[in-house]
Chain A
Amino acid sequence: MSSQQPTQPLRTSDRLYRALLMAYPAKFRREYGPLMAQAFRDLCRDAYRRRGVPELLKLWVRTLPEVAATAAVERVEILLDSTATAPGVPPPAIEFRGAYKRFQAPNGEIKTILRDLNFKVEPGEFCAVVGPTGCGKSTTLALIAGLESANNGEVLVMGEPVQEVGQKVGYVFQTDAIFPWKSVLDNVAAGPLFRGTPKSEAYTRARDWIRRVGLAGFETYYPHQLSGGMRKRVALAQSFITEPQILLMDEPFSALDVQTRTLMEGELLDLWASTEAAVLFVTHDLEEAIALADRVVVLTAGPATIKGIYKIDLPRPRNISEIRFDPHFAQLYKNIWEDLRDEVMISYERAKRTAS
């Protein structure tokens, strides 16, 4: 991926550290709580960075209950073998490894939403996820954001397993999730203020972002005084201001009319180009997915798993309002639609059956 050799050792160590974290017994976290776990992780990281694996193992043997330590050390040795061959590749921004998600329906029935989900999103990549209605697209986002946790398998963000709601992630919701009792300015400044940025700095940055999304002059307005498109702009500014490494978008523009939508898509691409964020964009609209993304992931009808992954090699910067007339666009659309159509039909038939 990258040709900068000098930074590689750190990357390798990060990757190894990630492997170690997986070995680190979940029992510890359960027994001593997340705060202790965090402190312990920092200690491990330190020990590893300075002295390498042997020192780390010694630390574990000293601090953990005997059985847990032995088990952990064994797992580390196995993992060391498997990661030793890994070259210095930066970890993917998002990675699903055999993730399963099940919910209990109100009638007690266990429903599988995600089934053996495996895919990666590279740093800085724009990835779109399409699939039939209700197949579990939003659940994938909730797993990455840490709002839900996987029942089996793993979800990694920047190479680390998701454990709680992370600070590296931004989320734009399908419905309005900006705070109706805060003015535009306070809404956009909310993220930095929550994270302890001094007030004056937070408001300066917020004003800047409000300008960048084209809402200058509306700082004192309340959300109900704005149009749907303007509220989406507030939501975008609110997310971008926290400088997320990963931006999750859950059908953000589906409630907008077609013209506003095209406009907002263009603006999203401009905003994204000015950052280094990886984007995971969930939509049911294949045209939107192709127009925006570098890659399109097609999910099957629920329980969702990967049906196909398509690379979108349309050049950037793209003109959203005209890209749909590109013959290559049409070709891509046709290819992906053939995949998607089957799944849409399956979920349609299912819906018909339950309805009748």
Chain B
Amino acid sequence: MNALNELPLKQTDDTSKLHSVELTPALAQAAQEAVKAAALRRRVIINVLRVAFILIILIGWEVFARQGVIDSFFWGQPTGIWEQLQTWVFEGTAQGPLWEQIAVTLEETLLGFLIGASLGIVIGIMLARIRFLGDVFGPFINVANAIPRVVLGPLFIVSMGLGLQSKVMLAVVMVFFAVFYNVFQGVREVDRNLVANARILGASSWQISRHVIFPSAMTWIIASLHISFGLALVGAVVSEFLGSLKGLGLMIATAQGTFNPNGLFAAILILAVVTLIVEGLITRLEKVLLKWRPSTIRDVGL
């Protein structure tokens, strides 16, 4: 503000002394800097408030737990969670080293995610593009979708055992439907002009799928990938609850069995961090794949 006032303001017209100020380069630069400074100040305030918010919750939790307002036997307490994390990191968990549990769960999740998403994309495009197939298989997919997928977990464990397969299978089933419906919708809503244009330019049916349908459904596919990664994780973890030898889900189940709320929270925290990291990678992938799109709304993050 002060910098603005000290600038020499050049008046263009003597008769109109009211507002007519010529925008000199120096003035324009000063204005720009003022805007930048305001944006920076806003960012700082937001971050300070965020940190304050989490500190209030953690400190409040800890204080109330120590005073006995919150029963730490059932609800845990932040320092306990921290100690639990330290134990896991430095001494390992009951089932082996922590990194191994994370790796196992991630492997199940990623495999389930990749297989489920690929199947969803391929079958989604096929059923939406080939009306005959859509008519034949549509009802089956709707019926299958009506079943809450989690109940299939026990079935997979019975038929495939406690190992990797049953976990991946449940994750695949969870992911498939989310991706499938998004892709199906995306393909059905492709701009008809673009398809007509491709046909006139000589594209075969396959080329239309590859060069028009797939890229334009990509926005929908990417949107569903965000959700479906979460679903894959749910599938893997739930399946680990139900029966497994390793993994974060088993850690949670163990913590539950031993009345260890700190262990539960610590495992949840680890899950959240892992998910956030993978989500970040997906967002990056999205930026590469959708670089043709104008970047108007993308920056309004939540």
| A contact residues around B294 at 8 Å (CB) | 224
Cross-chain contact B202 with A242 (CB below 8 angstroms)? yes
- Docked-complex contact B199 and A190, CB < 8 angstroms: no
Residues of chain A contacted by B198 (CB below 8 angstroms) = 179, 190, 194
A180 within 8 A of B: yes
Chain A residues 186-242 with CB under 8 Å of chain B are 190-191, 194-195, 222-224, 238, 242
- Closest residue of chain A to B291, judged by CB? A222
CA distance A135 to B207 in the complex (A): 33
Do the beta carbons of B204 and A194 come within 8 Å of each other?
Answer: yes
> Interface size (A, Cβ < 8 Å)?
25
**Chain B stretch 181-238: residues in CB contact (< 8 A) with chain A:** 191, 193-194, 196-204, 207, 211-212, 215-216, 218
Give the contacts of A157-191 with B (CB-CB under 8 A).
165, 167, 169-171, 173, 175, 177-183, 190-191
A263 CB–B CB distance under 8 Å? no
* Residues of chain A contacted by B203 (CB below 8 angstroms): 190, 194
Which residues does chain A contribute within 8 Å of B218, judged by CB atoms? 181
Q: Kindly state whether residue A249 has any CB partner on chain B within 8 Å.
A: no
Contact with A along B130-167 (1 / 0, CB 8 A): 00000000000000000000000000000000000000
By beta carbon, the residue of chain A nearest B212 is A179
Cα(A147)–Cα(B192), bound, Å: 11
| Beta-carbon contact of A173 and B215 below 8 Å | no
Query: Residue A145 at the B interface, CB < 8 A?
Result: yes
Q: Are B292 and A173 in contact (CB under 8 A)?
A: no
Cβ contact within 8 Å between A194 and B207: yes
Taken together as a complex, chains A and B put the C-alpha atoms of A224 and B193 apart, in Å, by 17
Whether B193 contacts A175 by the Cβ 8 Å rule is: yes
Q: Chain B residues near A165 (CB, 8 Å)?
A: 199-200
Query: In the complex the two chains form, what is the Cα distance from A169 to B197 in whole Å?
Result: 11
B202 & A179 in contact (Cβ 8 Å cutoff): no
Min CB gap A206→B, angstroms: 12
Distance in angstroms between the alpha carbons of A85 and B40 in the assembled complex? 86
The CA of A171 and the CA of B199, in the complex, are separated in Å by: 10
Q: Are B200 and A170 in contact (CB under 8 A)?
A: yes
Query: Which chain B residues border A173 with CB–CB below 8 Å?
Result: 193, 196-197
- Asked if residues A177 and B202 are in contact (CB atoms below 8 Å), the reply is no
Q: A177-B196, A190-B211 are known contacts. Are A242 and B201 too (CB-CB below 8 A)?
A: yes
- Could you tell me the distance in whole angstroms from the C-beta of A353 to the nearest C-beta in chain B? 30
- Is B293's beta carbon under 8 Å from chain A? yes
Q: Within the assembled complex, what's the spacing in Å between the Cα atoms of A173 and B191? A: 12
Which of B197, B199, B294 gathers the greatest number of chain A CB atoms within 10 Å? B197
- Residues of A with C-beta under 8 A to B292: 180-183, 222-224
A4 → chain B closest CB, angstroms: 31
Q: Write out, one digit per residue, whether chain B residues 263-298 have a CB within 8 A of any chain A CB (1) or not (0).
A: 000000000000000000000000000011110000
B197 CB to nearest chain A CB (Å): 4
Bound CA span A68–B199, Å: 32
Q: How far is the CA of A145 from the CA of B204 in the complex (A)?
A: 16
Q: Smallest CB–CB gap between B118 and chain A, Å?
A: 20
* Complex Cα spacing A181 to B200, Å: 18
In the complex the two chains form, what is the Cα distance from A123 to B284 in whole Å? 52
- Chain B residue numbers with a CB within 8 Å of A147 are 196, 199-200
Q: Which of chain A's residues has its CB closest to B201's CB? A: A191
Query: Besides A145-B196, A147-B196, A194-B201, 12 other CB < 8 A contacts?
Result: A147-B199, A165-B199, A167-B202, A173-B197, A175-B193, A177-B194, A178-B197, A179-B212, A180-B293, A181-B218, A194-B202, A224-B293
Q: Which 4 A-B pairs have the closest CB atoms?
A: A191-B201, A177-B197, A181-B292, A181-B215
Binding site for B on A (CB under 8 A): 145, 147, 165, 167, 169-171, 173, 175, 177-183, 190-191, 194-195, 222-224, 238, 242
A-B contact pairs, 12 of them (CB 8 A): A147-B199, A165-B200, A173-B193, A173-B196, A177-B194, A179-B212, A181-B215, A181-B218, A191-B202, A194-B204, A195-B202, A223-B292
